[in-house]
Every structure is written in structure tokens, then in C-alpha cells.
Amino acid sequence: MEFAKKNNIKMVETALGDKLDKWFEWKHPPYLLGGGVQFTPEEIAAKIKELYGDDIEPDPQAITFYIRDKFRPDMLKNVRVALTSANAIAADDGSIVICENSGNISLITRLAEKHIVAVGITKIVPTFLDACLVTKTLSRINKVSQAYISIIAAPSNTSSVQGKSVQGMYGAREVVVIFVDDWRKKAAKENLIYKDLLKCVGCKTCDFICTASRAFGNVFGSRYGLGATGIIREYIHHGIEAAVKAGLFLCTGCEKCTNWCPVGTDLSEMMKSLKKEATNKGLCPPPLEEYRSKILQDKNPFT
């Protein structure tokens, strides 16, 4: 963002939910159903009036059509670089697989001159077939459909003039993939508490069924996402105190996340290890600490 500002590059958010969060300067983790769901149609209509001076009906359909009419033409004319993530990258043929519902990603990645994909190294899977299985896992388990699945295997190209291969017909002339390691290789090499998170494909099933997420919503999560995965990521980047602040001890230890994970990520075990570390450092919330002491001393939490 800083680089874009300094170089006069206009960044445009294309996902509606994230656009709404930006408009309202939302500082908390997004809700489970997606960005922006916390704002009422009346609030959104009022915000549109405030930002663009337009009167629209406070109705989801009217709001969606307004956004489409207002921003789609600009996207069609002015997108130069598309910046996205990806859901899987096949090691055997380099295919990039991206799932979405709105069509904004497939639209801008075709329109841009350059498509940049920034993606964690854990999204690399052995074969194209594995990448397809990941997309199926994402769409089936948490019942959020993926209306569009894009497979990008190369820059747009043609060989129609005398058989000479030329890149950049109608789609992106250039596709750049940036692999992000960050904490991942270190976790594997040093067998760290959160190593099991390397298996995660991001399907969000653990959030949908989590006892704490259901009770506390986005209070149980961090800037990196909702639920246990968000809290573990907070720990990775900012340490145990930050994980406690993000709601570590709201986890009931019910193990539903582990039992429902389609790829066998043992989230509840990781949460247990983090609670142990927090408790050893004196970060356990006082009521729980009292409860623990009674169990240890009197073998009875109710004395």
C-alpha cells in the first residue's frame, strides 16, 4: 500500500464485502459469512449517499446493481495490474487455481496487462488433479459455493499469425507468481507448535462448527482471520500475549475443529499447546487460573 501511494498507483478493492469494510473503516476481523455482512442495507445506502451523493433503495439487490453499474465500467477500462491470491498451484504443470463467487477475480485477471499472484508456499500441491481436489474441498465442506473456478496455466497467447507464438492476446501479457514463505519453512524445519497449520487449505469449516466462534463471533479471532486459525496466526506473528488478547482462552477445547477438518489439521491440539504456554507465562485469565488451582490442590473445582 505504501509503495502504491508513493508511486501514485491507484489501488481499487473489487470484492464488495471488503469494499464495505473499507468504506466504514472497519477495524475488526470480518464476520464468518464474509466481509461487510455486519452493515444494514440502510447503513450502506446512507454511506453511498455520503460518498457519491447517489440515492438508492436500501435493498441488497439494489445495492449490488448500483455497485456493479458504478464500478464495473471503471474496471473494464482502467485495470492495469491485477493482484490476487490463489487457492492452489499445481507443481506438475504450474496451473494456478482460483475460486470465487462474484466474478471480480476472473474479470480483472483477464483485463489486466499483468497478473500478480501472491501466495503462501503451502498452496503448492503435487499435481493439477490435487489442485482440483482442493477446490472441491473448499466448495463442498462449508457449503459456500464457488461460482467461478479459474485455471490459469500461462499468460494469454496466440500462434495464429504464421504459427509464431505471441504472448498477450486478450488476457494478461504477463503472469507473475510470488511465493511467500514467512513462517512456513521454519515451522516445518523446527517442528514448531503450529507446524500442523501447514496442512490447512483455508476452507473455513473449523470456523463454521467452532463452539467459541458460534458463541463469540468475530471476538474470537485476529487481524489474520476468524477462529483458531486466526489466533494461531496471531501467535506466529506477535507471540503468546497477542494470542491471549485475540481470545485464545475462549476456546472450549471441544475438538470439533480437529474432527471436522477435511485435511486433518489438529487445531485443538495446537490451541491446547498455546494455552499451556500462556498458563506457564502467567497469562491465564484469573477465573480460569482459580479454577485450575482448585483442581490441582483440592481435586474439586467447586470448593
By the criterion CB under 6 A, which residues form the site for ligand SF4? Answer: 200-206, 210-212, 228-229, 251-257, 261, 263, 265, 267-268, 271
In whole angstroms, how close is the CB of 118 to ligand SF4 at the nearest point? 19
In whole angstroms, how close is the CB of 80 to ligand SF4 at the nearest point? 33
What pairing do the DSSP bridges indicate for beta strands 157-158 and 114-120?
unpaired
- Rounded distance between C-alpha atoms, residue 217 and residue 231, angstroms: 13
In whole angstroms, how close is the CB of 113 to ligand SF4 at the nearest point? 33
Decide whether 100 or 255 has the Cβ nearer to ligand SF4.
255
Helix runs in 112-189, H state only: 128-141, 184-189
In whole angstroms, how close is the CB of 101 to ligand SF4 at the nearest point? 17
Reference 226, options 216, 237, 238, 236; nearest CA is 216
Angle between the N-to-C axes of helices 16-23 and 41-52, in degrees from 0 to 180, rounded to the nearest 10: 70
Write out 192-244 in H/E/C secondary structure: CCCHHHHHCCCCCHHHHHCHHHHHHHHHCEECCEEHHHHHHHHHHHHCHHHHH
What pairing do the DSSP bridges indicate for beta strands 124-125 and 88-90?
parallel
Calculate the CA 40 to chain-centre distance. 23
Decide whether 98 or 271 has the Cβ nearer to ligand SF4.
271
In whole angstroms, how close is the CB of 124 to ligand SF4 at the nearest point? 16
Decide whether 105 or 257 has the Cβ nearer to ligand SF4.
257
In whole angstroms, how close is the CB of 127 to ligand SF4 at the nearest point? 19
Cβ 249 vs Cβ 283: under 8 Å: no
Decide whether 32 or 48 has the Cβ nearer to ligand SF4.
32
Decide whether 39 or 249 has the Cβ nearer to ligand SF4.
249
- Phi and psi at 117, nearest 5°, equal -110, 115
Q: How many CA atoms lie within 13 A of 88 on its CB side?
A: 27
Cβ 173 vs Cβ 113: under 8 Å: yes
- Rounded distance between C-alpha atoms, residue 198 and residue 122, angstroms: 6
Q: Which residues pair with 157 in a beta bridge?
A: 167
In whole angstroms, how close is the CB of 263 to ligand SF4 at the nearest point? 5
Decide whether 168 or 202 has the Cβ nearer to ligand SF4.
202
In whole angstroms, how close is the CB of 207 to ligand SF4 at the nearest point? 7
Decide whether 205 or 222 has the Cβ nearer to ligand SF4.
205
Decide whether 108 or 231 has the Cβ nearer to ligand SF4.
231
Cβ 280 vs Cβ 289: under 8 Å: no
